[in-house]
Structure 1
């Protein structure tokens, strides 16, 4: 993504209630699917649903995930099922698997006016139009949304792509 495109990303403030990672990802997944931005109460509901599916995904992938989780596996999963437990990198990875979508994490650095990519998950589900979240460096995640102009351009491209595919 170019610097110009990075500058066109708009941060969407997400409630900091222990669900911010899941709220941010759920918000971005709605946008990626072409849905309306979820209200605060819808974000909470979607975040709790996503959290439950992420915990289930840990159990499903235990052989692949147990080694990189801190402490006892069962205790970790039990903690992650609680609505106010903070999520991090392992949860972002599982979110990408649950949603079958790429997730890109950005962060502002002192050397740049625009956010920089610090992590990418779920690249096996594609690289275009990832769910974008902004990490503040202190435990909070916000959603990132492309500017309206860029969204309109992407919709136009998807429409044209669909039109030409079906017309051929």
Structure 2
């Protein structure tokens, strides 16, 4: 199987995904991505305290990435750029699509976002980021549609990332 296109058409693959509950503390997007990066690299799931620490570190790196890519990102952020970046640095401010895009650049890994459906497989891909870093074995997160993200895991998955 190659790439996310194959994933979206493979019901068996989607049924294998298992949600990993992430605390809803304003860091859930960053926690989910960090958790997914750990799983992708073959490491065991990080403890909740390590997950929080790494999520805050990733958040800071994402804010820095916005600044590095200001010319490319300023136009799609809501409000004034400097205020947006200042806000996103705060640990309890929610992240969304712009932050997922920057996470993919910071980690140099693809990220696939899923959402639950009423279909038999239960999940559909709603967004993909960082495809330029490859399409195999992306970090997988589940968006619940009300501002919360959980990590997704494929049981027994083999990984090749170094993060």
Same fold (TM over 0.5): yes
- How much has 1:112 moved relative to structure 2? 4.0
Q: Normalized against structure 2, the TM-score is what?
A: 0.90
Q: Normalized against structure 1, the TM-score is what?
A: 0.88
1:15-164 equivalences under 5 Å are: 15-148=23-156, 151=157, 154=158
Aligned residues: 152
Stretches of structure 2 lacking an aligned partner (at least 5 in a row): 1-6
* Larger relative contact order, structure 1 or 2 (CA cutoff 8 Å, min sep 6): 2
Query: How far apart in 2 are the matches of 1:7 and 1:68?
Result: 34
Query: How far apart in 2 are the matches of 1:112 and 1:67?
Result: 39
Structure 2 contact 14–121 (Cα < 8 Å) conserved: no
- The structure 1 segments of at least 4 consecutive aligned residues displaced by more than 3 Å after TM superposition are none
Report which of the two structures shows the higher radius of gyration computed on alpha carbons: 1
Aligned twin of 1:7: 15
Query: How far apart in 2 are the matches of 1:28 and 1:114?
Result: 20
Structure 2 contact 112–127 (Cα < 8 Å) conserved: yes
Structure 2 contact 11–121 (Cα < 8 Å) conserved: no
